[in-house]
Amino acid sequence: MNESLGRLEFNFPWRSYQANLLRNFDRHISDNHFHVIAPPGSGKTILGIEIIRRLGEKTLVLAPTLTIRNQWEDRLQSFFTKSKAYESHSFNIKSPHDITFATYQSLHAFYKTFEDKNDYYSFFEEHNIKTLVLDEAHHLKNEWWNCLIDLKNNNPFFVVALTATPPYDSNRTEVSKYFTLCGEIDDEIAVPDLVREADLCAHQDFVYFSKPEGLEINFIVEYRQKIADFKDKLLNDDVFVSFIKQHRFFNQPEACLEELYSNAEYFSAILIFLNACGVAVERHKLEILGFNKKETITFPTLELEWLEVLFQNLLVDDRERLLKSEPYLLSLEKELRKIHVFEKRKVNFIGEELLYKSLASSPSKLKSIVSIVASEHESLNSDLRCVVLTDYIRKEFLNTDDNKIQTVNKIGVIPVFQYLRAYFLNKEALAVVSGSLVIIHKAILEAFNLIENCDHFSFTPLQVDNAFLTVGSKKKTKNSIVSIITELFENGDIKVLVGTKSLLGEGWDAPSINSLILASFVGSFVSSNQMRGRAIRKDPDQLNKTGNIWHLACVDSTVLNGGRDVDILRRRFEAFVGVSNSNRPYIENSFERLQFPEQILEEDVETLNLQTLKNANNRNNIIKKWNNAIVKGTHLTKEIKIYHLGEIAYKKQKRIYYFDAVRFFVAELSFTILLFYLEFILKNTHVVLSRGMTYFLYTFLTALLVSFGYKLYKAVTLYMRYGFLDKKIKKMGEVILNTLFELGFMTTDMSSIRIESKRIDNGDIVCDLLGSNPFENSLFSNALSEIIEPVKSPRYLIVKTNLFRRRLNIENFYSVPEIFGDKKANALVFQKYWRINLGRNKLFYTRHVEGRKLLLKARLFHVYNAFKKVSKQVVVWR
């Protein structure tokens, strides 16, 4: 062990969740990686220093900002030394010490100074640096990634990755790169652990909905109408229909099977479009793709998503193969551009980006912020510490007076400030802080002067309201302007602070925040979670502090789910673990925990907002809900939720199937057969006398089958499609679990692990793996998701079929999960356990001709759910 690192020692007792994490450290580091998820307030930096101490090797610590880099050195001196006397550290990557603190940007700049990259690798070898700590590893950008992965691939490091939120919302390539560098997640400190230990305060997420302004509504309605008109025109456009009928996929499918196999969505879109136009699809074309003569293919409705797939291929992906039709394609392109459907080589009929930009930055949200701040102030009075975070400053609105406030049409720091200045009664408590603009009320100048001499600053009255002053610095001061504003906020001189997320969203610490309004619409789940973390820190001066986190959404009245703005919010909640709003509280990471209706309609907005404000004001109830929910679990685990996708509501459908499949057999069938039997005997007594009992029984059974066979067939089909799905999901789980154990992926004792699968009230099914560690749980949930989701492009395919199933048209196709599909031997182990738990099946390798044909058939069978959310991985406290 390095001598100077050996002298470090943590000066305080470990919190219980920190001790649990460190207890498993030796096992996790065995692969030279230690990847930990730890929320703000969990002592992530302190844990990182302890890990450095235990590894005992010279270390490079990388952080995303100078502020966070400096926090590492501060925590080292404050918590691991007696008198802040540790000197074996450096901030200069060119002159490393036993511990070197640097930023990702400085490493990248250092990397670029080496023409010969071998000299770059040798530098770290010569200085004997063997531990690499990646703090807030989700910040890695492409250019930073290159110098790090190069370093890791050429030098044997211990890699310690610490993050509050992995970048799950990034594209698959970025996520893969992230885990390649950081390793699989070894352990996680859960938010409920921190709330239970009072290291985070009780908190709740709230959503305040707004209605779009008149111009926005008109824009949305006109856009939707243009799309509908285009679709109607297209379906009756003989030229376009003829063009699609001449496409090689439809006209000569035999000649391009490989292309069909690799782009099933494109082929599906062609068939679905032609079917919508009334064009018959010849049977032999479907037989080429693996369907037999007796199979019935029902095409789904031509939704806009299928038009997107069709035109994305025609105008972009497949355009080079359609050069003969270029003039016609150019005319289609111009037509789509006119209705704003084709931009930057991307076809979008749904209008996600166009309408999202309109709704996400809707000025209606400015009114929402005023309502929230007014309600919070009425509830908390002098205790209010509210922060509004947004993306842009928007200085162009700085001189907007009260008479023109309605002309403000964008979200930003100054628009929020102007609305609050005009409509919030407690103006003295309002301030603005950003990198280039600071505004305070003149009423707090005296308090400002107590912190830093006002003579060091310039104060210029605002043109529209001279009670507010812009603050400028005359000379260098011991306290930065941000730290002064922070202290004024902490002291209560400022109660409502409006700022940019770039300045206050990460690294900024103000424990007194008890109300946070996220008026940001730019950025990822990661940045949202980082901003949210500002409000859930405990406040030593307010032991019963609760944090309200406010999210804003503008409702699109033209769609039932609330529109893209609401949908983005739903997805962002996957990064937020919190307590539910239900009477029986639970803890999980979904939007559903807020108990909003599935369909958010414009006419419901006011009612929903009133109830939300009422819930937010009852802060004692938030504490109560956390206390009640925390005792129901001990750790976070992933569960798979399989959605009920029937068009009829589950409870109603359940009732229908109950009468069809149960009462029919038990009551109706028995009674009807009895009557039928008596009537048959009365009418056919002569048969018994003349032909004998055997002939009579054959005649009876034949008549019975003719009379009741169809009902029996329908009931059996319904049962096979619908009955006991939760039991079937559990069996799939058993297949995965047994395969994981046989292939050596599991380290937990099998006797302590069990699978639980059940149907909940709304018809969804949830499946949990209980007793496993986080890594095993993640492997299990990922594999089960791959089986349940519509077939995409697995290397191996399981087909559950037999003669009876084929006759009933109930063949089932399932992907062999990627973790088992890398080798045939592994896929055969999976097949073995599938046969044990779920019966006979066939395994197909989809990279050969026969397998690719079957894969396309499987994907067409799943075409109904191609754009539906079939399942979801939910993080729950169990």
- Dihedral through CA 851, CA 856, CA 859, CA 860, nearest 10? -140
Query: Do residues 426 and 528 both lie within one domain?
Result: yes
In eight-state DSSP terms, residue 395 is G
Q: What is the mean pLDDT of the chain?
A: 85
The residue that leads in pLDDT, 255 or 649, is 255
Domain-ending residue, one of 343, 358, 373 = 358
Quote the pLDDT of residue 703.
Answer: 59
Helix 564-572 crosses helix 525-532 at what angle (to 10 degrees)?
Answer: 70
Tell me the Ramachandran region of residue 525: left when phi exceeds 0, alpha when psi lies from -120 to 50, beta otherwise. alpha
Please indicate, yes or no, if residue 196 is contained in any of the structural domains. no
Question: How far is Cα 576 from Cα 592, in angstroms, rounded to an integer?
Answer: 12
Strand partners, 799: 813, 842
Rounded average pLDDT over 822-851:
91
Closest CA to 297 of 318, 314, 280: 280
- Dihedral through CA 180, CA 181, CA 183, CA 186, nearest 10? -140
Please indicate, yes or no, if residue 399 is contained in any of the structural domains. yes
Tokens of 329: 């394609």
Domain-ending residue, one of 306, 341, 358 = 358
Closest CA to 403 of 425, 393, 418: 418
Query: Do residues 349 and 366 both lie within one domain?
Result: no
Please indicate, yes or no, if residue 643 is contained in any of the structural domains. no
Rounded average pLDDT over 365-384:
96
The residue that leads in pLDDT, 778 or 751, is 751
**pLDDT band at 296; cut points 50, 70, 90:** low
Query: Do residues 522 and 619 both lie within one domain?
Result: yes
Quote the pLDDT of residue 359.
Answer: 83
Q: Report CA-CA distances (Å) from 873 to 233, 636, 638.
A: 41, 12, 6
Q: Report CA-CA distances (Å) from 639 to 580, 642, 877.
A: 16, 10, 10
Quote the pLDDT of residue 401.
Answer: 87
- Judge contact between 764 and 871, C-beta under 8 A: no
Rounded average pLDDT over 402-422:
91
Number of compact structural domains in the chain = 5
Q: Which residues of 731-752 are buried (b: 16+ CB within 10 A; e: fewer)?
A: bbbbbbbbbbbeeebbeeeeee
Please indicate, yes or no, if residue 645 is contained in any of the structural domains. no
Quote the pLDDT of residue 676.
Answer: 52
Q: Is the pLDDT of residue 673 over 70?
A: no
Q: Is the pLDDT of residue 310 over 90?
A: yes
Quote the pLDDT of residue 675.
Answer: 53
CATH number, domain of 73, equals 3.40.50.300
Query: Do residues 596 and 718 both lie within one domain?
Result: no
Question: How far is Cα 69 from Cα 394, in angstroms, rounded to an integer?
Answer: 30
Query: Do residues 752 and 846 both lie within one domain?
Result: yes
Rounded average pLDDT over 480-507:
87
Please indicate, yes or no, if residue 281 is contained in any of the structural domains. yes
Helix 352-360 crosses helix 214-235 at what angle (to 10 degrees)?
Answer: 170
Q: For the chain, how far is it from start to end, CA to CA, in angstroms? A: 40
Query: Do residues 28 and 83 both lie within one domain?
Result: yes
Question: How far is Cα 404 from Cα 408, in angstroms, rounded to an integer?
Answer: 8
Question: How far is Cα 814 from Cα 67, in angstroms, rounded to an integer?
Answer: 50
Residues 6 or more apart from 859 whose CB is under 8 A from it?
264, 265, 268, 790, 791, 792
Identify the helix (H) or strand (E) that includes residue 797.
strand 796-800
**DSSP output for 832-867:** HHHHHHH---EEEETTSHHHHHHHHHHHHHTGGGTT
Quote the pLDDT of residue 668.
Answer: 47
The residue that leads in pLDDT, 317 or 524, is 317
Rounded average pLDDT over 776-804:
84
Of 451-465, 521-535, 596-610, 837-851, the least confident:
521-535
- Dihedral through CA 523, CA 525, CA 527, CA 533, nearest 10? 150
The amino acid that residue 470 corresponds to is T
The amino acid that residue 276 corresponds to is A
Count other C-beta atoms under 10 Å from residue 320's C-beta: 8
Please indicate, yes or no, if residue 612 is contained in any of the structural domains. yes
Residue 170 burial class via C-beta count within 10 angstroms: exposed 0-12, middle 13-18, buried 19 and up: middle
Rounded average pLDDT over 245-266:
87
The pLDDT tens digits of the residues spanning 694-722 come to 555 556 566 556 655 655 555 555 454 44
Please indicate, yes or no, if residue 839 is contained in any of the structural domains. yes
Closest CA to 876 of 578, 625, 621: 578
The residue that leads in pLDDT, 809 or 458, is 458
The residue that leads in pLDDT, 123 or 261, is 123
Query: Do residues 293 and 354 both lie within one domain?
Result: yes
Using DSSP, state whether 815 is helix, strand or coil: strand
Tokens of 625: 């809900």
The pLDDT tens digits of the residues spanning 146-189 come to 888 888 888 889 999 998 877 665 666 777 788 888 888 888 88
Q: Model's pTM, two decimal places?
A: 0.82
Q: Is the pLDDT of residue 486 over 50?
A: yes
Rounded average pLDDT over 625-641:
91
Q: Report CA-CA distances (Å) from 745 to 721, 737, 773, 776, 819.
A: 33, 9, 12, 7, 10
Domain-ending residue, one of 722, 740, 760 = 722
Using DSSP, state whether 588 is helix, strand or coil: strand
Q: Is the pLDDT of residue 873 over 60?
A: yes
Main-chain dihedrals φ then ψ at residue 594, nearest 5 degrees: -80, -5
Residue with tokens 């290291």: 199
Strand partners, 765: 642, 759
Query: Do residues 401 and 503 both lie within one domain?
Result: yes
Query: Do residues 624 and 754 both lie within one domain?
Result: no
Identify the helix (H) or strand (E) that includes residue 737.
helix 725-742
- Judge contact between 523 and 501, C-beta under 8 A: yes
In eight-state DSSP terms, residue 743 is T
Query: Do residues 73 and 222 both lie within one domain?
Result: no
The amino acid that residue 290 corresponds to is G
Total residue count of the chain as it appears in this document: 878
The pLDDT tens digits of the residues spanning 73-103 come to 999 999 999 887 899 999 999 999 999 999 9
Quote the pLDDT of residue 844.
Answer: 92
Sheet of strand 636-642: strand arrangement: 578-579, 587-588, 871-877, 636-642, 765-770, 754-759
Query: Do residues 353 and 366 both lie within one domain?
Result: no
Highest mean pLDDT among 173-177, 500-504, 634-638, 663-667: 634-638
**pLDDT band at 504; cut points 50, 70, 90:** confident
Which residues span the domain enclosing 672? Answer: 650-722
Q: Is the pLDDT of residue 269 over 80?
A: yes
Please indicate, yes or no, if residue 493 is contained in any of the structural domains. yes
Query: Do residues 698 and 790 both lie within one domain?
Result: no
Tokens of 55: 């590894």
